[in-house]
Amino acid sequence: MREIILRQKQILFFIIAGGLSAIIEIGSFKAFSTYLPQFLSHETNFHGIHYPLSNIFSTSCGIITNYFLSIWFVFERGKHSKRKEFAYFMVVSFISTLLSLSFFQIFYSFIFKDNINLIFYTLSPEITSKIAAILLVSILNYSIKKKVIFNG
């Protein structure tokens, strides 16, 4: 019974940490995708890749935030040293970033074409695609981080 309660608590904290990391990632993506094209004209469409630097920079902000929230609130330390744990976290995050960037491109190019009006805010296709990619990849992230990195 104790394990079930702890597991539910861990999932709740993972969702909270992920939500905060997603807010950082989406907010920084909004800032990067607004200001980078003013300096780099190819940022909006670089050989068919939409907002590549904005995605990479914002995802990096989200990953770093998620790492610290994960070690502070979500997972207990595994059997790995801090250095090895961080390296594993970064490898998993790098693979997740590639997946997230791929999903973003698919969503932005083929699925989310119009703004979504939420009455109090309008979501652009870029932001909607970013949110969808984050949600999809976060499920994979939880299971891998829990089993491979933090529980060794």
In which residue ranges of the chain is pLDDT below 70?
A: 1-7, 77-79, 151-152
pLDDT of residue 65: 93
* 83 vs 42: CA distance, rounded Å: 37
DSSP class of residue 77? -
pLDDT in tens, 75-93: 776 667 778 888 888 888 8
State the total domains in the chain: 1
Which domain, by its residues, includes 52?
1-151
pLDDT of residue 72: 86
What amino acid occupies position 130?
K
Residues in the chain: 152
Q: Are 60 and 78 in contact (CB under 8 A)?
A: no
96: Cα within 13 Å, side-chain hemisphere: 24
Helix (H, G, I), strand (E, B) or coil at 120: coil
